[in-house]
Amino acid sequence: MKKVVFIAAIAAVLSVGQIAYPIQEAAAATVASYRIAYKMPTVNTLEEKEVFHYLLKGALKIKNPHPASILDKNRRDLTEIVGDLNGTDTPRGFMIDEFSVSKDGYLLALYNEIGILDPVYPQGYDPAAISKQILDQQASGQWGGELRQKRGEIELKARINALVQAGYVQPEELKDQRLTKQFVAETLYRMYKKARPYKGSVAPKDSQSEAVRWAIEVGVPGFQVDAKGYVYPQSQPYYTNMLDFIHLFLPSKKTATGWEYFQYEVNQDLLLEAVHNSSGELLHINNKPLSSLPNYVMLSDLPEKKKAEAQLSASLAPKVIEMVEQVRREVQKPRVWDWRTDVIRHPSFTKLVSEYRKTKSQKALNQVYQTVKARYNLFDRQDSPQVMKSVLDHIR
């Protein structure tokens, strides 16, 4: 269907807060009715929804970055490494995919995220010299594939060795390339367990690992427990979202004395661009993500869609830094795992629970809810007075 016909078949309402903007379109007798809307994220959704981690990573400028000279010297792009390992300037998609889902791919991403660990090169290796040899071979009509492969292997191993030297990876863990959530949790826990100690507040059925339980407790993406209580630690992770979460919400700036938080400021242009890039999930039509509408890309130039993006961006800009700070405070808290032991029978809440059950008053309910919320980092599904009322009324 042509774009002009598709748009002409829409009668929509852009809903922003309490304001509704009608879209005037010449339409046929039978016209589909849509409502384009957005919802401002809460602290919970900012913490739990991966779309916002991606958005924030692209929209916030770091105020206290590492020196660019250090990052440029240490970091290596995944495509560059894969190209060298395969002796090509244009690695094929399957090469990148295979590397990305391996331990080597994850460890390179982790190393690049830390940014300031010096590569641990073998004695006598000169990065500039081998690069010059490759250029000389190319200038003489040779491809230099063997040298490129050697360079790729050494550069990659030097960065992984830096992680081993820092104590984040154990040498025996490098015997195979199978990447699991268990392995990712172990590396992250070694890095951040002092900055964010394990509180012992979660207990999945399929893992006794303190590192895995820490990752669940902190809220690292990919470590959500299903309805049956399983986290599946041996499954393959999607680690990009995990690293975005850590970068934003944990003290993830490595310094000579430990770990500090990155400090941010909003770049309004980047924020608008990030909202636009994620509009398929951030904007909704009839309470469903915009991306669920067939051919939704045809709406990209619709003025009302652009207005929704601009207004969401403008609404987020003055609030998002404080929301990030609030998430950082929240992820330092333990979780409610068992309402009976963590709240109903916990000594800290005994009097409050008793007062609510005696009076059934809204005031008593709110006191329990606010006190529990101050102690625990509640999941979005847990975080409401209504849920607290149900817990107090039905769990003994």
Average pLDDT per 10 consecutive residues for the chain, totaling 396 residues: 37 36 33 73 96 94 97 96 92 96 98 97 94 86 82 97 98 97 98 97 97 98 96 97 98 95 96 94 88 81 88 96 98 98 97 97 98 98 98 96
Q: CB count, 10 Å around CB of 56?
A: 25
Q: pLDDT of 260-308, one tens digit each?
A: 999 999 999 999 999 999 999 999 888 888 888 887 777 777 888 899 9
Report the predicted TM-score, pTM, of the whole model to 2 decimal places: 0.89
Residue 78 host element (H or E): helix 78-85
* pLDDT of res. 36: 84
* pLDDT of res. 97: 96
Q: Are 259 and 68 in contact (CB under 8 A)?
A: no
* pLDDT of res. 144: 66
* pLDDT of res. 89: 85
- First-to-final CA distance of the chain: 59
- Which pairing describes strands 10-16 and 32-38: parallel, antiparallel, or unpaired? parallel
Residues 6+ away with beta carbon under 8 Å from 361: none
Length, in residues, of the chain: 396
The CA distances from residue 225 to 60, 181, 221, in Å, are 30, 13, 11
* pLDDT of res. 33: 58
